[in-house]
A and B are shown apart, each in its own frame.
Chain A
Amino acid sequence: MTNKSIVICGLPDSGKTTFLAALWHLISAKDVKTALTFKTLQGSDFTHLNSIMGLWLEAKKQIRTDISSNQVVTMSLIDLRGETVRVSFPDLNGETYQRMWEDRECDPEIADILMSGQGILLFIHADRIKMPGWVAEEAAYKLEAEQQGKPTEVAATDTEAGTASPSVEAPNIPWHPRLAPTQVQVVDLMQLLRKPPLDIGPRRVVVMLSAWDLVADEGLSPQDFLCQKLPLLHQYLEYGVDRWTYRVCGLSAQGGDYATEAESLCAENIPSKRIRLINGTEVSHDITEPLVWLME
């Protein structure tokens, strides 16, 4: 039996825990053919996994991962060669990663976890990407809208709560690192993993574009989506000197919007089929496949 560890990275609300819940159901339910299969319940505590899986099956929003708990879940699985492999997934709170960007520090315990992973699963919520927006462009947009008689209270780039569009009433908001675009925070996180004291050499990374069902209408492949919506991250992975070997997938782990589609999601006879993984042009339910690639 071999032991493997995969680090699940991502900013807050990027879909990390939902992925783990869906993965645990997929493996334990055995309804769908998967690259990694269930071995045994022995040897691990499954309280956390069973808890998040319960919420997933009921199509309920996951409770935010407690920053102090730093759950490390372990699954005993069988790979394609029939060998047993124990895979550990640290389920860290997104604030842990945000703190690395904002405060430029992390706990020694977190550092050990980050350095233990053979591969990285990097989660980005595809529908909550904060892009850079500029005052000059916004002013030109508003001017054009005014000339056309359109309403001008539209922020150009950001749908996240707490961010701003220009107004006369509240000028000059001071800078805070949290205002940085998503791609900058993620690139810096990846760079930190390739610098002392966290560097353990080149690794594989799968970029998981979560909530893919919300952006699928745009008609882009996950690779094209990365290239167009997160160009800094794409260029860093493609041309960077940090030598990441990467793949990019679209993932719909919930299967739909819990707020509006909970009933239809619960009505699915085989819940594993709610899961959709988009890898290039292929669509499957098997979210263990990227894990196999990370562990190769």
Chain B
Amino acid sequence: MVTDFADLICANPGCNVSKTGKCMEGLDTDTCPHCTKKQPAVSEEVLAETLPDSPVRGSISLAHGKRMSITEAETVLRAADSRVIALVGPFAAGKTSLIASLYDKIQNNSCGDFRFTRSHTLFDFEQVCHPSRIESRRLEPHTDRTPFGVVSFFHLGLCNTNSMASLDLVIADRAGEDYKIASDDISRAPTFAEISRSDTLSVLIDGQRLLSIADRHKLRSDVQLMIQALADSGSINHCPRLAIVLTKFDLLESAESTDKVKALAYFEEFEKKIRDTFSTHFQDARVFRIAASPSSVNVLPRGYGLLELLEFWYSPPPTRPRSDILELVPKRIFGRVRP
């Protein structure tokens, strides 16, 4: 039995599940979102069988089409008008589902006045969409977990047909576990490059957990502490816009009427609390209700609410606070004379 839990790893550094077999949060190891099994070492023979064919000698590498690194994202940001979107929320709040659903809406030409102009990450967009596509042969839509410890970026170039202005959305994809760790250990927070560079911080509130009386307080605490960690570390001193996004809204819509009313009332109080508590850290806070990948489209259509969120993301970047602007004071008195 010892070897059973010796194979476990927890994202929470304070948890001793690999030694004791007991989850720090009292959860079953199969259901704890932070707990995973160590991957067995892969033999060279197996590796040789599973890896794709090695490149033909002398073949030319083309653009990879996968999620971008920070360096690659910076290149995109320097090249054209752009917006950086950070998605913050606990594990399984629906961050990757949101990204996949937005891409599918664009691909299906159902994004209002927005038109596709380009994407450096089509290959990975397709991969994250796959578990919700027919070809996966799944019976319900699914989204694979984002590996924790790294941030990567999706890229979507859009043009608004009203203004004919084109810009690049650079959307950060980071595991919820990383943000949870930041609220436990604030020294981790400043490494979140996507937060300090974000034009819009989108905080995702899991609608499914709001329906659970046992879970909703923990959800609220988790989210509040995550934002607090970002604020205390100075990562949001640049005052980005704030989108408070209620995800999995289809589950609330299909819930019992009283449960739905209670969950929505709880959410409204919750989002007001966030806005009041962190009012000095954000500009133009807005609330959105979305159903990125509902299991049944009879309740709400796939991608419900995403167009409004996209319009918010797309709007002009927030003005920087005065303190952020570097003022050069001339040394000579003559240089300081104003007309």
Contact = CB atoms under 8 A, between A and B. Distances in A.
Interface string A160-189: 000111111011110101011101100110
Contacts of B52: 103
A111 B60 contact: yes
Interface centre among B117, B136, B157, B294 (most CB of A within 10 A): B136
Interface string A3-43: 00000000000000000000000000000000000000000
Given A165-B134, A232-B106, A239-B116, A135 B139 contact: yes
B107 A232 contact: yes
Interface stretch (B6-14, B40-48, B123-131, B189-197): B123-131
A136 B139 CA distance: 8
B139 A132 contact: no
Nearest to A169: B137
A54 to B, nearest CB: 33
Contacts of B116: 231-232, 235-236, 239-240
A140 B65 contact: no
B117 A133 contact: no
Nearest to B298: A140
Interface in A112-152: 132-140, 143
Contacts of B273: none
Contacts of B325: none
Contacts of A105: 55-56, 59-62
B139 A177 contact: no
A181 B161 CA distance: 25
A223 B4 CA distance: 61
Contact of B140 (A100, A135, A188, A196): A135
Interface in B58-89: 58-65, 80
B134 A138 contact: yes
Interface residues of A, number: 57
B123 A170 contact: no
Interface centre among B60, B62, B80, B115 (most CB of A within 10 A): B62
Nearest to A155: B134
A172 B144 CA distance: 12
A195 B63 contact: yes
A136 B60 CA distance: 40
Contacts of B56: 105, 107
A139 B63 CA distance: 36
B108 interface: yes
Contact of A137 (B119, B123, B135, B302): B302
B62 A134 contact: no
B122 A184 contact: yes
Given A106-B59, A171-B137, A197-B60, A188 B132 contact: no
B156 to A, nearest CB: 11
Contacts of B130: 175, 179
Interface in A32-68: none
A192 B62 contact: yes
Contacts of A81: none
A37 to B, nearest CB: 38
Interface centre among B52, B106, B115, B125 (most CB of A within 10 A): B115
A136 B302 contact: yes
Contacts of A95: none
Given A168-B139, A175-B126, A183-B107, A134 B132 contact: yes
Contact of B135 (A108, A168, A173): A173
Given A105-B60, A239-B117, A172 B297 contact: no
Contacts of A235: 109, 115-117, 159
A103 B122 CA distance: 13
B18 interface: no
A175 B127 contact: yes
A266 interface: no
Which 10 pairs, one residue from A and one from B, show the smallest C-beta to C-beta distance? Answer: A231-B109, A175-B130, A133-B134, A235-B116, A239-B159, A235-B115, A239-B115, A180-B126, A105-B59, A179-B135
Given A101-B123, A165-B134, A232-B106, 6 more contacts: A107-B60, A108-B59, A137-B297, A166-B137, A231-B107, A232-B109
16 contacts: A134-B132, A134-B302, A139-B140, A164-B137, A171-B138, A171-B139, A173-B137, A175-B130, A175-B131, A177-B123, A179-B133, A184-B125, A192-B63, A198-B62, A232-B116, A241-B157
